[in-house]
Amino acid sequence: MIHYTYHESPVGALLMQSDGRVLTGLHFHDEKYVPQRQADWELSLDLPIFARTYLQLDEYFAGSRREFDLPIEPTGTEFQRRVWNVLLRIPYGTTTTYGAMARDLGQPTAMRAVGAANGRNPISIIVPCHRAIGADGTLTGYAGGLHRKRALLELESAAHPLFGRAAT
């Protein structure tokens, strides 16, 4: 069974999913890969993992939280999970490139595959795929829309040429 709920945020409604113990999904309600509700989904308004996620997201958007402390289990291929682990190591307020991520994975020519894995990140914001940018500093490839990527980077005053600091 998949538990789900919605949470309003400054960047739009967020769909949260859980197996009952950990967060398994956090999607923008209108993103490119948002899962469609199925018969085995149950609306759960009082699940403890959702309460923790609400609180931490609200703190993040208020500017008082820089790191999330939530149990998560994103579902994906082994390569995707490796990419998402790299994303989890990008510090708040900084960015990196898809090429740098590929090099970090020991696969320097896999920039496009890294970008595709970023696009399939099932736990947006918490697994900060918004912090990955193009080699030329452009904001590219965000399933939630570039307007949201820009808003999240502005919230973090991220190291991006548009925000006053050089990207890594």
Tell me the catalytic residues.
129
> Which residues on neighbouring strands pair with residue 132, listed in sequence order?
96
Helix ranges restricted to H, 38-127: 48-62, 78-88, 98-104, 111-119
> Which residues on neighbouring strands pair with residue 133, listed in sequence order?
97
Helix ranges restricted to H, 6-77: 48-62
b/e burial code for range 51-88 (CB count within 10 A of at least 16 → b):
eebbebbeebbeeeeeebebebebeeeeebebbbebbe
For 144, the token pair is 């939630």
Query: 35 to each of 7, 60, 93, 94, 122, how far by Cα in Å?
Result: 16, 24, 29, 29, 9
Yes or no: say if 13 and 28 are a contact pair by the CB < 8 Å rule: yes
